[in-house]
Structure 1
Amino acid sequence: MNDIISKLLAQSDPPWSYAEYINTALYHADAGYYMKEKTKLGKEGDFYTSNHVHPVFARTFARFFADVFKKEEFTPAILEAGGGDGRFASNVLSYFKDEEPELYEEIVYIIADASPYHRSTLNNLAEAYGGKVQIVSSAAFARKLMPGFSGIIFSNELIDALPVHSVVQGKGELLEAVVLPGEEALLKEELRVCENEQVINWINDYGPVLPEGFRTEVNLEMKELLKEFASWQKSGLLVTVDYGYTNEQLTLPERKEGSLRGYYKHQMVNSPLEMPGEMDITSHVQWDAFIKIGEDAGYSLIYHDNQDKFLLNGGLFKFLQEVRDPNPFSDSFRQNRAIQSLVQPGGISSAFQVNILGRDAARADEYKIFTEDPYSL
């Protein structure tokens, strides 16, 4: 029997909600996909992030972070939630070291990642940057390190990996998709009348208003995570990079089947019930709900746009280099090609959004992303 099914049966009797299934398939301490000692990111893994295109991605964000720290009275501290292989953190810190030495002297960088495997691979990063880097298993442990956080909380493709419920609008009633042991397939899905009051209240409070037959995901853990951040962060920015849709986009005909998918060796798998524990499972962020929950928790919306627009406004073109070496594999050629790929229409960045929520961000309208000419080199 598959390990994930065994763990599910040990935890409770079927049927299971998709949230229960995803939580076990991804995060179970022994059998969960993210907990296993295997490479998940990059060429050797199952999926890429924009961060794996080139260091210039992280350095553009670092440039933005530095601008914020100079303008606001925040502590120069960054929490990266879901730090993965540490590539983003390393490139941000190297930017501060190279370009902002005064800020670098003060910076504190905390990486929170639930995966013991990821945390073990981050030890070299912690050693390289000494006491500037702290590695913890969750935001709750980060809170113990720095009570009353005043700084920047950053995540890249974190919210899309949280467990979600899957619901379908039936004839006059909301249905929930539940998971059961299968016969020929390991697992199967069944639709039942939704009895989960939290899920029902979510649809009533945050939408979307689904046409009959449409499916969508309800991310209850997203709400809990935002509330946890808000209760800890007394001032600063919450910077979230992910892919998602507005409520209006969620009810377009092409979204009728929802967004819950799997990824295995860089190939999309339509059913998240295939290969339990062996592949990534993901769903798109419901941005209207994300923003509303954040505002209810005390944040204000500062910025929301596609990733390519943010990178452009954040100074990506400042990293263009004069090419003196005609070798197409030279560092300058590689960097310039990466910059082009990050902003080209239909490229990787067009599928992602950058959301910035703030608390006590008194000078947000002065940030370079709003005031600087992005085409001035």
Structure 2
Amino acid sequence: MTERDETQMTELTGLLIRRIREDGRTGYVTDADGKRRSLPAIPFRDYMAVCLYDEKHGYYAAGPNRVGREGDFYTSADIGGIMSAVLARFASGTFAGSGRPPVVFEWGAGTGRLGIRLLEEWRNIEPDRAASVRYVMADSHAGHREAARRGAAEAGFAASVEALAPDEAEARLAEAERPLILANELLDAFPFRRIKREGGMLWEIGAAYDEREGRLRDALMPLDQASLNRLEAEGLMPLEGQEAEWGTDALAWLEQMLGIVRAGRIVLIDYGDVQEELLAPHRMKGTMRCYRRHVVHDNPYRYPGDQDITAHVNFTAVMRTAEQCGWRTAWYGTQMRFLLEGGVLELLREHAGTDPFSPEARRNRAVRQLLLSDGMSELFKVVVLERP
């Protein structure tokens, strides 16, 4: 799909158009004939925030379940419980030797699949310690939280698990002593800014409504001096003609978490790379992608509120932010290396049966899929941040 695809007109689309008309600043679009004209526009970050988090229509805040077969995309938590098993061993090691009950927070927990399987695995390897775990699942989608509560109860963890809205979870986090925080495919869900260098200048990409063509589209907006200064300080300097994503919301969330927690560990799992790779010449259009019904495309304006919008995480910025907050990067690498060092091969089961759907065969297949399938475990990275 391309930027010229028709925009699906919905109640949310109307809301966005009104906001652009009322709050928009000057933006510039270039037509097929090469002529430039001005249109009111809002920063793409603001457009994306409405599409994902509007209370009534937002993709992550309302509507049906978004994850798994019935949703729009899969996560590593959906593949046979392997990530949960490795994280259970990591959590067990994190709290080894501690005399206090383990406290784990999972941000962006969705329907709770990863956390419930983690607790089940922990119960298998360390039943006494697992019985005392306090596990808080934070998610902005009310339907996801309800599904997490049901799943926890069915698995026997009703007393251990709380499924809360993010602001409620933050209040719990402030009271926690040396917690472990997990965030699996969370950072890519935050609204991001989009930057482009054109004509030797840095611009912010905004969202405009083109009355002439009857569609939402990109527009170039002047950047304020504070943003230009920060981009220069962070080294986020696209090439001429290149677009790049700037994850200021994700970094602000990380700063907030690091400020709340006095000591502990944070594990962030997401697809992305270091900044040098994200600004490489072969990434002239950035990394933004949209997902709807397990189909990927590149038009964020086609289905407002009814598609996921995401981009690669800049792990250079993540680690720099942590260090500025007084934390250190204890580990960084590919998901494959994290799984291998975490003992994933020990999860392979010998079996003599021929049933491809036996528990042993299914787990072995899940290990292979997570390690080898379509490069997922090389594209995904893991960073462990800690402060003693």
From 272, 280, 283, the equivalent of 1:244 is 272
Contact 1:241 1:353 in 2 (8 A): yes
Secondary structure of residue in 2 paired with 1:40? coil
Moved more, 126-135 or 110-119: 126-135
Alignment of 1:9-158 (within 5 A): 9=17, 11=19, 12-14=22-24, 15-71=41-97, 76-127=102-153, 128-138=156-166, 140-149=167-176, 150-158=178-186
Q: Distance in 2 between matches of 1:224 and 1:75?
A: 29
Secondary structure of residue in 1 paired with 2:131? helix
Match of 1:159 in 2: 187
Matched AA of 1:231: G
Matched AA of 1:93: L
Q: Distance in 2 between matches of 1:57 and 1:250?
A: 26
Match of 1:3 in 2: 11
Residues 14-61 of structure 1: CA distance to partner in whole angstroms, max 9, x if unpaired?
311111111000110001111223121112211111111111221111
The structural deviation recorded for 1:348 is 2.1
Match of 1:193 in 2: 222
1:223 and 2:251 aligned:
yes
TM, length-normalised to structure 1: 0.90
Unpaired segments ≥5 residues, structure 2 = 1-8, 25-40
Secondary structure of residue in 2 paired with 1:254? coil
Contact 1:207 1:289 in 2 (8 A): no
From 283, 292, 304, the equivalent of 2:320 is 292
Unpaired segments ≥5 residues, structure 1 = 361-377
TM, length-normalised to structure 2: 0.88
The structural deviation recorded for 1:323 is 1.0
Contact 2:108 2:186 in 1 (8 A): yes
Q: Distance in 1 between matches of 2:248 and 2:298?
A: 22
1:262 and 2:267 aligned:
no
The structural deviation recorded for 1:95 is 1.1
The structural deviation recorded for 1:331 is 1.4
Secondary structure of residue in 2 paired with 1:92? helix
Matched AA of 1:46: D
Q: Distance in 2 between matches of 1:163 and 1:126?
A: 30
From 218, 232, 236, the equivalent of 1:204 is 232
Q: Which runs of 4+ in 1 moved over 4 A?
A: 9-12, 71-75
Aligned residues: 358
Q: Are residues 277 and 146 of structure 1, via their aligned partners in 2, closer, same or farther at CA, if it must alter by over 3 Å?
A: closer
Q: Distance in 1 between matches of 2:147 and 2:369?
A: 28
CA RMSD in angstroms, aligned pairs only? 1.8
Secondary structure of residue in 2 paired with 1:224? helix
The structural deviation recorded for 1:281 is 0.5
Contact 1:5 1:181 in 2 (8 A): no
Secondary structure of residue in 1 paired with 2:264? strand
The structural deviation recorded for 1:311 is 0.3
Q: Are residues 331 and 126 of structure 1, via their aligned partners in 2, closer, same or farther at CA, if it must alter by over 3 Å?
A: closer
Q: Distance in 1 between matches of 2:17 and 2:374?
A: 43
Matched AA of 1:113: D
Contact 1:50 1:349 in 2 (8 A): no
